[in-house]
Amino acid sequence: MAEMVARLSAINLEARYGIRMTDMRILALLHDADRMSVAEISRQARVDKAWISRLSRELEDKGLIERVPDPEDSRAMLLSLTRKGRDIQRRLLPEATKREQFLLRGIDRRKLVTVLAKLDQNLGALLGEAGLMLDQSGQD
């Protein structure tokens, strides 16, 4: 399923909007937030803060997000969507919803939610066992 989503994303996102699925992960997290720290995005996306920092610089270069120092912590950066980033979100949301509905057609949503919750729980346990829990210190 991940491969199908990746292929659809490459076709729809990269070709039409010049952004990758990885870019969309950050844009989606910032969609409803005024500002969010790199550490919080890292925690929610369950990916390394260094990766989020690198990707956020690319998104800033594309004019999709703004990076500003956190006034309360000089080591941290706060990210927010620019007008261009919000415009892309606004245009992509209906398309993404349509694709998701198409992919999930005929699948029991309750069962899907149960499976996804269990996979998330198992991933957390696996990361914990491997000592790969993300740094929660708030630095970036």
Pairing of strands 65-70, 36-37: unpaired
Q: What is the pLDDT of residue 132?
A: 57
Residue 1 lies in a domain: no
Residue 134 lies in a domain: no
Q: What is the pLDDT of residue 137?
A: 44
Q: What is the reported pTM? A: 0.69
Residue 31 lies in a domain: yes
Nearest residue to 38 (alpha-carbon basis) of 82, 68, 58: 68
Q: What is the pLDDT of residue 112?
A: 86
Residue 78 lies in a domain: yes
Q: What is the pLDDT of residue 123?
A: 83
Residue 104 lies in a domain: yes
Q: What is the pLDDT of residue 15?
A: 77
Burial class (CB in 10 A: 0-12, 13-18, 19+), 35: middle
- Which CATH number goes with the domain that contains 34? 1.10.10.10
Q: What is the pLDDT of residue 20?
A: 82
Blockwise average pLDDT, block size 10, the chain, 140 residues: 67 77 85 89 88 93 94 90 92 80 86 88 81 49
Structural domain harbouring 42: 21-129
If one counts the domains in the chain, the total is 1
Residue 60 lies in a domain: yes
Residue 16 lies in a domain: no
Q: What is the pLDDT of residue 138?
A: 44
